[in-house]
Chain A
Amino acid sequence: MERGNALDKTVTDVAAAVADIPDGASVMIGGFGGAGSPIELIHALIDRFRATGHPAGLTVINNNAGNGHVGLAALIEAGMVRKLICSFPRSADPVVFTQAYQEGRIELELVPQGTLAERIRAGGAGIPAFYTPSSFGTDLAAGKPVELFEGRSYVRERWLKADFALVKAETADTHGNLTYRAASRNFGPLMCMAAAIAVVQARRVLPAGGIDPEQVITPGIFVQRVVEVARPVQEEDLNRARATYPLEAE
């Protein structure tokens, strides 16, 4: 019997992978600094914006706020981001975000890093709220409900979901099962869970069965699109070479 191909989640190229992200969408972008940053997917989104004027007014969820003039920084520099939800909007070269923030062109929601991760996990797990000790008694807990558990105070935080996630993986199979490389894993597994459409760039895309099930980190049920980017650039390398978007020979 012929099998259907609905489980084949591969798309032809990065442009096709991000072609339907609309104005005003919420977009989770994986990575901690440069590790795990899906530069090719981000640049494909900027390419589309330069060609069509869309998408604009994005809400971006990332741990940081970009570095230099590539990747997330370039997305902000292009004027596509209305709001950023992150934990640490500083970097070696934070000029793009800093200027946009100080000129009031971008809104910032600052979230403690572990709370950010758990909000995203909760979004993916169908848990609308949870209590955490983090930020209790600080400015970042202002206005949030507090409850005592076993004599300690905890702050209620809400889940975080998104329309899209852009994630960098090491190996994918056509079903969207993923492995990651070293510490580039960071937010990838969480963001794939929490986004309606998780778009993954992977260095290698194998047929189903190409990844040992024992080694799968993100099961394919959390992934909607896979695109192969065989030689991905690395944000740190780009910044050390003082590269800017658009990259040469991209």
Chain B
Amino acid sequence: MDKLTDNQIAWRAAQDIADGAYVNLGIGLPEKVAQYQPPGREAVFHTENGILNFGESPASGAEDWDLINAGKKAVTLKPGASFFHHADSFAMVRGGHLDVAILGAYEVAQNGDLANWSTGPKGVPAVGGAMDLVHGAKRVAVITGHVTRDGRPKLLERCTLPLTGVGCVTRVYTSLAVIDVADGRFVLREKLPALSIDALQAVTGARLLTPGPVADLICPEL
């Protein structure tokens, strides 16, 4: 089955970020969204360890290890950047000041529940800021492959893994489709043009509703 690359999923998610938006991107795949801001728009990116308006990584050898993002990667600053302590940083998160938070997912349920921090009791548990980031932003979006590496659905009626947050996700960008969470159900908004709704439903673990038109999901080659 044809599917979007990670870069293309990130590109699609970036198209929904408005000019002037304050945005937190989760570690990993969501970080790619920053590369695809549409021309003419400027978003301010927040990293929960204490920077607003950070930019790309510096050249190798030019890293300043006091200037890192939440993934502990070296970053640079853009004009208008600011530093702040952790209590202020999470006030921005929980206090409703961010426009968008974009996270990765192990599982998303049709009621908006998200599981993205733990794959079970094995190993050392670690949560970081995930449980805070799912609360407070005006939109909480997920970007993810539509299925797991071994082909199992990630969009489910109910999450099976430990939850990060309850009823928090509002939109999911996958490698096959764009799906909203509305009134406890998945609503299909866009899908790859060559993919039938039946074929998409077959790799989705919960019913997809189509109350309105389903647009073609078309991305540039990335």
The answer, yes or no, to whether A164 is at the interface (CB within 8 Å) is: no
Q: Point out the residue from B48, B66, B84, B132 that lies within 8 Å of A36, measured CB to CB.
A: B66
The answer, yes or no, to whether B59 is at the interface (CB within 8 Å) is: no
CB-CB nearest 9 A-B residue pairs: A114-B90, A114-B132, A137-B166, A117-B86, A133-B135, A236-B65, A112-B131, A113-B129, A182-B66
The answer, yes or no, to whether A249 is at the interface (CB within 8 Å) is: no
The answer, yes or no, to whether B214 is at the interface (CB within 8 Å) is: no
Most buried by A among B93, B131, B163: B131
Extra contacts, 18 of them, besides A113-B86, A116-B86, A140-B127 (Cβ < 8 A), are A88-B126, A89-B125, A91-B72, A110-B126, A110-B127, A112-B127, A112-B130, A112-B132, A113-B132, A114-B93, A114-B131, A115-B132, A121-B87, A137-B165, A139-B118, A183-B50, A190-B87, A236-B63
A185 touching B166 in the complex, CB below 8 Å, given contacts A132-B94, A133-B135: no
The answer, yes or no, to whether A77 is at the interface (CB within 8 Å) is: no
Beta-carbon contact of A117 and B68 below 8 Å: no
The answer, yes or no, to whether B144 is at the interface (CB within 8 Å) is: no
Beta-carbon contact of A87 and B50 below 8 Å: no
B:70-107 near A, CB below 8 Å:
72, 83-87, 89-90, 93-94
A192 to B135, CA, bound (A): 27
A183 touching B83 in the complex, CB below 8 Å, given contacts A133-B135, A138-B163: yes
**B213 to nearest A CB, angstroms?**
32
Bitwise interface map of A from 37 to 63 toward B, beta carbon under 8 Å scored 1, else 0: 000000000000000000000000001
**B60 to nearest A CB, angstroms?**
12
Beta-carbon contact of A186 and B86 below 8 Å: yes
Q: Point out the residue from B49, B64, B124, B163 that lies within 8 Å of A97, measured CB to CB.
A: B124
**A202 to nearest B CB, angstroms?**
14
The answer, yes or no, to whether B14 is at the interface (CB within 8 Å) is: no
A113 to B89, CA, bound (A): 10
The answer, yes or no, to whether A144 is at the interface (CB within 8 Å) is: no
The answer, yes or no, to whether B220 is at the interface (CB within 8 Å) is: no
**A80 to nearest B CB, angstroms?**
19
Beta-carbon contact of A186 and B65 below 8 Å: no
A133 to B51, CA, bound (A): 23
The answer, yes or no, to whether B67 is at the interface (CB within 8 Å) is: yes
Q: Inter-chain contact count A-B, CB under 8 Å?
A: 145
* B interface, size bucket: 35 or more
**A71 to nearest B CB, angstroms?**
13
Q: Chain A residues near B166 (CB, 8 Å)?
A: 136-138, 153
Bitwise interface map of A from 123 to 166 toward B, beta carbon under 8 Å scored 1, else 0: 00000000011111111100000000000010000000000000
Beta-carbon contact of A135 and B85 below 8 Å: no
Beta-carbon contact of B85 and A185 below 8 Å: yes
The answer, yes or no, to whether B174 is at the interface (CB within 8 Å) is: no
Beta-carbon contact of B68 and A87 below 8 Å: no
A134 touching B68 in the complex, CB below 8 Å, given contacts A183-B83, A190-B86: no
Most buried by B among A88, A112, A113: A113
Beta-carbon contact of A87 and B49 below 8 Å: no
Q: Point out the residue from B124, B126, B132 that lies within 8 Å of A134, measured CB to CB.
A: B132
Q: Chain A residues near B49 (CB, 8 Å)?
A: 32-33, 35, 183, 186
**B52 to nearest A CB, angstroms?**
11
B92: nearest chain-A partner, CB-CB: A114
Beta-carbon contact of A137 and B94 below 8 Å: no
Beta-carbon contact of A32 and B50 below 8 Å: yes
Beta-carbon contact of B50 and A134 below 8 Å: no
Beta-carbon contact of B131 and A138 below 8 Å: yes
B:147-198 near A, CB below 8 Å:
162-166
A182 touching B67 in the complex, CB below 8 Å, given contacts A88-B128, A97-B124: yes
A182 to B67, CA, bound (A): 6
A:87-112 near B, CB below 8 Å:
87-92, 94, 97-98, 101-102, 108, 110-112
The answer, yes or no, to whether A68 is at the interface (CB within 8 Å) is: no
Q: Point out the residue from A94, A138, A186, A217 that lies within 8 Å of B162, measured CB to CB.
A: A138
